[in-house]
């Protein structure tokens, strides 16, 4: 798979608040971490939240965040991982141990609901896993990072039946303006990915346009969701400027102001500077 060229650097640093540095794409292995961090920093993406999605990924995220000052970690069992486990109890016990033992772990996530990849038969355990992650985020005072794919109403139903953690993020926000409002009213930060640059994403851009400046975040979800004009190639944190520039245009924000807001919002959303 080809790697897109580096875009023009941003006028102010931002954080990529959702990335999978450990995951390759197609036949390509993941880029070595120092190389990925250097490429990102060169265009103004100075800090990254590394998200681990299963037990090996969660261990990897904790090690990487301990080794590199620009990284902090989120650990969880991904909604599509939960139904595949032999024992949710045992896996959750390890996620709790990892999250509880390391201050470099700022988030519990990504957790949530995915009705696209998980069928009816897996949904009960997926919801149970979501509820346990919500509980864990509250008990450990970590940020809850939510994955929601084709499950907006059920995500709200679950959130409304639990008490919410102090800080929570809708990662790769994918709803319209009304759903954005519902999440914002409940205290969410909304994180926008490369999908906001896609041609058919008018509803998503409407959602971005109504999100208050102090609740906006940006992410890659790399190696997935590569922004226009590089769809189909490998995504990475150094491509965040393409997404942020598109966001500034949609919102009518000054680019440097939006970057500064995103940088500060990410610290608020993830429990302080690092």
What is the edge-to-edge ordering of all strands in the sheet holding 143-149? 14-19, 45-52, 71-75, 105-114, 143-149, 168-170, 189-192, 216-218
CA angle 196, 142, 16 (to 5 degrees): 30
* Residue placing its CB nearer to Zn ion in the complex, 115 or 147: 147
| Closer CB to Zn ion, 21 or 261, in the complex | 21
CB of 125 to Zn ion, least distance (A): 18
Give least dist CB 153 to Zn ion, A.
18
> Nearer to Zn ion by C-beta: 104 or 147?
147
Indicate the residue among 42 and 116 with the shorter CB distance to Zn ion. 116
Cα-based distances in Å from 128 to 29, 82, 267: 33, 9, 29
| Cα separation, 77 vs 79, whole angstroms | 6
- Measured from the CB atom, the residue of 147 and 205 that comes closer to Zn ion is 147
Q: Find the shortest distance in angstroms from Cβ 64 to Zn ion.
A: 15
Q: What minimum distance in Å lies between the beta carbon of 129 and Zn ion?
A: 14
Shorter beta-carbon distance to Zn ion: residue 96 or 221 = 221
Which of 96, 110 has the CB closer to Zn ion? 110
Closest residue to Zn ion, based on beta-carbon distance? 147
Residue 15 beta carbon to Zn ion: minimum distance, rounded to whole angstroms: 15
Give contact residues for Zn ion (rule: CB under 5 A).
110, 147, 221
| Shortest Å distance, C-beta 54 to Zn ion | 12
CB of 110 to Zn ion, least distance (A): 5
All residues at 6 or more sequence positions from 4 whose CB lies less than 8 Å from its CB, including other chains: 226, 230, 233, 234, 239
Cis peptide before 178 (omega within 30 of 0): no
Please tell me the distance from the alpha carbon of residue 99 to that of residue 186, in angstroms, as a whole number: 24
Residues 228 and 245: their CA atoms lie apart, in Å, by: 11
């Amino acid at each position: 798979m080809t790697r897109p060229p580096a875009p023009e650097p941003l006028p102010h640093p931002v954080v990529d608040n959702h990335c999978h540095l450990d995951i390759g794409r197609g036949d390509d292995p993941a880029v070595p971490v120092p190389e990925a961090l250097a490429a990102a920093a060169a265009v103004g993406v100075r800090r990254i939240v590394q998200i681990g999605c299963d037990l090996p990924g969660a261990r990897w995220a904790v090690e990487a965040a301990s080794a590199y000052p620009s990284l902090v970690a989120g650990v969880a069992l991904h909604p599509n991982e939960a139904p595949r486990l032999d024992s949710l109890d045992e896996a959750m016990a390890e996620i709790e141990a990892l999250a509880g033992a390391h201050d470099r772990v700022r988030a519990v996530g990504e957790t949530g609901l995915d009705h696209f990849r998980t069928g009816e038969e897996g949904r009960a355990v997926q919801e149970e896993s979501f509820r346990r992650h919500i509980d864990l985020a509250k008990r450990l005072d970590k940020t809850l990072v939510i994955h929601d794919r084709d499950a907006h109403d059920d995500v709200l139903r679950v959130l409304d039946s639990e008490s919410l953690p102090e800080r929570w993020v809708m990662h790769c926000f994918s709803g319209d303006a009304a759903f954005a409002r519902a999440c914002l009213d409940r205290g969410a930060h909304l994180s926008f990915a490369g999908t906001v640059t896609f041609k058919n994403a008018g509803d998503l851009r409407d959602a971005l346009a109504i999100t208050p400046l102090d609740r906006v975040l940006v992410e890659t979800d790399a190696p997935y969701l590569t922004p226009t004009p590089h769809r189909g190639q490998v995504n990475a944190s150094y491509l965040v400027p393409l997404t942020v520039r598109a966001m500034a245009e949609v919102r009518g924000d000054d680019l440097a102001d939006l970057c500064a807001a995103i940088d500060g919002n990410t610290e608020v959303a993830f429990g302080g500077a690092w």
